Structure 1
Amino acid sequence: MIKIESLTLQRGALRLLESADLTLHPGQKAGLLGTNGAGKSSLFALFRGELTPDAGSCTIPADWRIAHMLQEIDNLDRVAVDYVLDGDQRLREIQQRLQRAEEEHDNHALGMLYAELESHNGFSADARARVLLAGLGFSSEQCEARVGDFSGGWRMRLNLAQALMCPSDLLLLDEPTNHLDLDAILWLEDWLRAYQGTLVLISHDRDFLDAVVEHIVHVENKQLTLYRGGYTQFERTRAERLTQQQAAFEKQQAQREHMEKYIARFRAQATKAKQAQSRLKALERMETLSPAHLDSPFSFSFREADKQPSPLIDLREGVLGYGEQAILHQVKLQLVPGARIGVLGPNGAGKSTLIKTLAGSLALMDGELKSSEHLAIGYFAQHQLDSLDSKASPLLHMARIAPQEREQSLRNFLGGFDFHGARAEEPVLHFSGGEKARLALALIAWQKPNLLLLDEPTNHLDMEMRHALTLALQGFEGAMLLVSHDRALIRDTTDELWLVADGRLQTYQEDLDTYTRWLARFRQQQAEDIRIANAPAGAQPDEERVDAKTQRRLAAEERKRLAPLRKQVDKLEKQMGEAQAELADIETGLANNEIYTAGMKDQLKTLLSRQAACRQKIEQLEEQWLEASEELESHSA
């Protein structure tokens, strides 16, 4: 287990932990939370042995294998699947030793190394690496691409796959969902729930934490506090403690009063009724959720637009795509003030294409797009972080878009995004991804948009900033179109869901929980379509409905027809059992040290030859059995 006792950890003059204690038992899954700079990454470095305690102790079993997610990639020429396989260092070591033994014709070493490779599941490693890549959204073609051909976000996916590939007793993941879409996040949730080792996870995605961890370790006031349950339970427990403070109570009352005034003002108006209902739901949630964030350094709102024309955007018969490749067809939509829409859809279906087209950064291929002359778009996308002037400060960025505004007003506004004092004057060059994202949001919020187009705005944002953004979006009175893998943000800020899938855009009538199940079925259907496309010619689905009597007769005929197939499957299973027994006998012989003496050279060669032939036979039998079983299942369905 991981045992921390009276731990003091210091970086330079900054003391991160002081006399902290923590115990994590084998197999526990814990989320590690804390403000930026609280010491989360330093704690990870301590676990990896890269830091030593300034006082106290941190004990991890010496035989534990530790895997962690790299933040950089050095070898850009590596093929993606090979890069992922590099995560299993023991596998690579065995393979290198095998190569040397083959070059030296060392049959003794070869026999031992092949047995070691098999015990390490090395023969299935390539397939397992491709399964990891597929789960994280890589196509078969991308598995063979150079690492350098991928963007920064996809390289982070490769680092995640490499960490998952590494056999481990302790897995350390730092913001693994930052560059994932919802498809990949749901896959990762399943993978981590099945993980048998100890997991420590830094994440700001509350739904992801709730799905994966059963404990929260909170770094606060230089201490480590262990909470039972996922993030929601942690937030509730911490809220109960904070609400005992008078200052917290007063701030919460002010927030409630603001929402109540909004509800009272707009509840009776038909055009605003939906928004008022949304605020009412937010007000109900505030009772338990808000207090846990009352010490947040963030507090901001989107400045009210000068005009709210209706409609803001009207698109008819739109064809959207890149170059000559159409992705979405016959798109019809109209955005009016107060529309609050979450856009859902599988990876690659066209969500970002829709946002980019409406933002004007991607030309419409066909159709008619009308925009109001008073349209003011606030567009957030990840590439905009790279377009910030690295030599300019947050204050200078603000001054460029508001040259007539008083400096103090700009400083006050930036303070709501936690850019205070000298920090507001520092160049963006060395800012973190989270700080750049906050600055991009500040620039949008200042410019009084009446339409927000947000494409994954929470990437790099911590929990407190996500909460502040949620409150700001709840108070925004214009229209909003949101693409996000943060299910909590979608749930708390949108009133309507749209679905992008199969080249179409349509209203989605269900909720997020139903969508996750729909997404799973969608992926299964995709796999089934591929299977059918590759099925033998002439196979046709049943198109006629028959009565019960006919069904029974057909079922009896089908059982009779399938009997030879079942017999073939049984026969292949028996042959595989015999072949595997033969292989076991051969490997028993290879395990005898005498076989590697000089006088037994011919016998060794014979055994190795039989071993290779037997393995090949088993592979062929397994392939035949799989084909026969699939055919049997397809006819039995």
Structure 2
Amino acid sequence: MLNFKNIAIRRGNRLLFSGASFTIHKGQKIGLTGANGAGKSSLFALLRNELHADEGEFSMPPNLEIAHVAQETPALPSSAIDYVLDGDRELRALQQQLAAAEADHDGIKLAELHVALDHVGGYTAQARASRLLNGLGFSTEQESRPVSSFSGGWRMRLNLAQALMCRSDVLLLDEPTNHLDLDAVMYLQDWLVKYPGTLLLISHDRDFLDTITDHIVHIEQNQAEIYTGNYSAFERMRAEKLAQQQSAYEKQQREIAHMQSFVDRFKAQATKARQAQSRIKALERMELIAQAHVDSPFGFSFPPPKKMPNPLLQLEHADIGYGDKVIVKNASLTITPGDRIGLLGPNGAGKSSLIKVLSGQMPALSGKLRNAQDLNIGYFAQHQLELLRLEESPLWHLQQLDKQATEKDLRNFLGGFDFRGDKVNDPVEPFSGGEKARLVLAMLVYQNPNLLLLDEPTNHLDLEMRHALSVALQEYQGALLVVSHDRHLLRSVTDTLLLVAGGQVQPFDGDLDDYKQWLAEQKKAGDEPAGSAETASGVSRKDQRKQDAERRQRLKPLLDAVKKAEAAVEKFHHQQRELEEQLADPAIYSDDNKERLKQLLAQKANVDSALEQAELDWLTAEETLAQAE
């Protein structure tokens, strides 16, 4: 258990939060939410003993194995898979001891170490690391490549895989999806749902939080509170709480106004002086209720495009790639006013390359790109953050777009992206990734495009900004084409999906759940190219389907066992949440409810134990199925 008792944390003179009291139990999956700078990462630092609470007491059991994702990756010569295996520190220690025992020809020690190695899964560790790398987007060939050969984003994936490789009691993940594409996000989500330890997750991906978490710790207005349920449940509870708080605030303000009016009218009259004095004392004793604050710091919208030619853009029979390497063949696409297109496809299939060709950032290897005369493209990609002038301010960047605009108008516009006061004149260099992304988006919105091409626009954006962007895009009157690993954004702003896979661009007839199923089928079929007449092994599709049917029949008992175990986990999770909600009621701790409290605590202990066993059964069933496959 992780126990927080009246915890207060400050950064310098600034209070992040105080009075935080809650307990995180073994196996719970906690989502940490709150505005950037609210104190989420500081709470992680407290758990890792990198800082201490300014007030209160934090405690946890000794010798917990805590895993987290390293922020830096040295340019090591070791292979990617060896780097990931380093995450299992106990495994590496045993391997070193084995090497020493072999050198000493100590047979007894060797036997003991082999038993210990088997106990920690040492003989399957290589396969486990390989599955992690594959799930996070690495090919088999890349597993043997040196760490130093990977770019920054791929090194962050290696760090994530290394943290997942650790057989940890507690796993801390801070924005783990930032450097992932949609396929890897789906894999990580499934992995974390099955993770048997205690998870603390900072994420601005609503769908990700909803699927994984069973509790939310929300930090706002210098308070950190825990809520039972996933992110959607937290939003409902928070809305109800804020509504009640606002109602109580307004009622109290009416009472204060009434008493103050009496005091003002009668304090000078001798006959009423005592009553007036009584009300003054009542006002002094009154514990003021704070007004509820739910306003987002963001408020912006896309103005209607000045012109909307039809079609806006046409790509005809284009080959797309680099040099002699063709990634996408014979791609044709027409974008018309009002189109709202989401691009799906495996990592490396060519989604970003297609957007670059459409935006004019790179030429097609063949074919034609026809732009309408009045086409005005708004293009967003992560590399554009690097094009900002670091020594200049947000105000300066907008002034370069519109020399005639007044400073007041530009300040008002920047305020909608939460650049206010002195911030509009601050140099961009020390800005966070989220602040830089907001500035690039502000510049894009200001230019009033009639076609938006967005490549991962939500990276580094917090939940409030993602929501504001979704709302603005829903109301946007131009055409839109977007690549994003944020499924909530894709669901809320697109109505057509295109699949980029197997060298082709074609309509995807389904939703994001169907796409997840498609990905699973591709992996089982050996990553066969979409549209191919044969599988990678040369077997016809008809024979492949027959083999798949026979395979499903053979694996049915194992699949049923996995489903049964999964259902048991879900059942005990549901019972656990119900008991926690009952235990969260202050009335249960009154003297009249001692027996009921005792019963609930006993039930909770039984359910916690049953859940732990069910999760182990689930993992065992999954591993058995994986080995059979």
- Counting only pairs closer than 5 Å after superposition, residues 571-590 of structure 1 correspond to structure 2 as none
- The residue that corresponds to 2:18 in the other structure is 18
- The residue that corresponds to 1:578 in the other structure is none
- Counting only pairs closer than 5 Å after superposition, residues 151-190 of structure 1 correspond to structure 2 as 151-190=151-190
- Counting only pairs closer than 5 Å after superposition, residues 516-531 of structure 1 correspond to structure 2 as 516-526=516-526
String of CA shifts for 1:315-359, please: whole Å, max 9, x gaps.
Answer: 222222222222222322211221111111222222112111101
Residues 503 and 85 of structure 1: CA distance in aligned 2, closer, same or farther (over 3 Å): same
- Which is further off, 60-69 or 398-407? 398-407
The percent identity for this pair of structures is 54
Contact kept? 1:293, 1:464, Cα under 8 Å: no
User: Counterpart of 1:443 in structure 2: which amino acid?
Assistant: M
- Which is further off, 42-51 or 333-342? 333-342
SS of the equivalent of 2:116 reads helix
- The residue that corresponds to 2:351 in the other structure is 351
Q: CA deviation at 1:294?
A: 4.2
| Structure 1 Cα separation of the partners of residues 543 and 128 of structure 2 | 38
Any runs of at least 4 consecutive aligned residues in structure 1 with deviations exceeding 6 A, and if so which?
A: 532-535, 539-546
String of CA shifts for 1:23-82, please: whole Å, max 9, x gaps.
Answer: 111111111111111110000011111111112111111132111111111344332111
| Structure 2 Cα separation of the partners of residues 544 and 53 of structure 1 | 60
| Structure 1 Cα separation of the partners of residues 535 and 507 of structure 2 | 30
- The residue that corresponds to 1:136 in the other structure is 136
Gaps spanning 5+ residues in structure 2: where?
248-291, 551-623
- Counting only pairs closer than 5 Å after superposition, residues 315-354 of structure 1 correspond to structure 2 as 315-354=315-354
| Structure 2 Cα separation of the partners of residues 540 and 407 of structure 1 | 67
| Structure 1 Cα separation of the partners of residues 477 and 81 of structure 2 | 47
- The residue that corresponds to 1:66 in the other structure is 66
| Structure 2 Cα separation of the partners of residues 524 and 423 of structure 1 | 52
- The residue that corresponds to 1:421 in the other structure is 421
Q: What is the Cα-based RMSD across aligned positions, in Å?
A: 2.8
- The residue that corresponds to 2:484 in the other structure is 484
- Counting only pairs closer than 5 Å after superposition, residues 283-322 of structure 1 correspond to structure 2 as 294-322=294-322
Number of residue equivalences: 505
| Structure 1 Cα separation of the partners of residues 382 and 23 of structure 2 | 38
Q: CA deviation at 1:21?
A: 0.5
Residues 293 and 368 of structure 1: CA distance in aligned 2, closer, same or farther (over 3 Å): farther
| Structure 2 Cα separation of the partners of residues 394 and 56 of structure 1 | 40
- Counting only pairs closer than 5 Å after superposition, residues 344-493 of structure 1 correspond to structure 2 as 344-493=344-493
| Structure 1 Cα separation of the partners of residues 497 and 523 of structure 2 | 20
SS of the equivalent of 2:422 reads helix
Contact kept? 1:22, 1:224, Cα under 8 Å: no
String of CA shifts for 1:355-394, please: whole Å, max 9, x gaps.
Answer: 1110111211121210012111111111111222222221
SS of the equivalent of 1:4 reads strand
Q: CA deviation at 1:139?
A: 0.6
Contact kept? 2:33, 2:218, Cα under 8 Å: yes
| Structure 1 Cα separation of the partners of residues 427 and 526 of structure 2 | 47
Contact kept? 1:21, 1:223, Cα under 8 Å: no
Q: CA deviation at 1:405?
A: 1.6
| Structure 2 Cα separation of the partners of residues 350 and 534 of structure 1 | 20
SS of the equivalent of 1:316 reads strand
String of CA shifts for 1:579-614, please: whole Å, max 9, x gaps.
Answer: xxxxxxxxxxxxxxxxxxxxxxxxxxxxxxxxxxxx
| Structure 2 Cα separation of the partners of residues 345 and 240 of structure 1 | 40
Q: CA deviation at 1:4?
A: 0.7
String of CA shifts for 1:200-233, please: whole Å, max 9, x gaps.
Answer: 1000111111111111111122222222221111
2:216 is the alignment partner of 1:224: no
Gaps spanning 5+ residues in structure 1: where?
248-291, 547-554, 556-625
SS of the equivalent of 1:110 reads helix
Residues 358 and 88 of structure 1: CA distance in aligned 2, closer, same or farther (over 3 Å): same
Contact kept? 1:20, 1:222, Cα under 8 Å: no
User: Counterpart of 2:308 in structure 1: which amino acid?
Assistant: Q
Contact kept? 1:293, 1:467, Cα under 8 Å: no
String of CA shifts for 1:486-521, please: whole Å, max 9, x gaps.
Answer: 111011111222222222222223222222222222
- The residue that corresponds to 1:88 in the other structure is 88
User: Counterpart of 2:453 in structure 1: which amino acid?
Assistant: L
| Structure 2 Cα separation of the partners of residues 11 and 297 of structure 1 | 22
Q: CA deviation at 1:102?
A: 3.4
Residues 424 and 19 of structure 1: CA distance in aligned 2, closer, same or farther (over 3 Å): same
SS of the equivalent of 2:200 reads strand
Contact kept? 2:2, 2:60, Cα under 8 Å: yes
User: Counterpart of 2:4 in structure 1: which amino acid?
Assistant: I
Q: CA deviation at 1:404?
A: 2.2
- Structure-2-length-normalised TM-score: 0.76
2:37 is the alignment partner of 1:37: yes
| Structure 1 Cα separation of the partners of residues 361 and 303 of structure 2 | 24
String of CA shifts for 1:143-182, please: whole Å, max 9, x gaps.
Answer: 1122222222111111110100111111110111111111
| Structure 2 Cα separation of the partners of residues 358 and 506 of structure 1 | 16
| Structure 1 Cα separation of the partners of residues 67 and 544 of structure 2 | 54
Q: CA deviation at 1:90?
A: 1.9
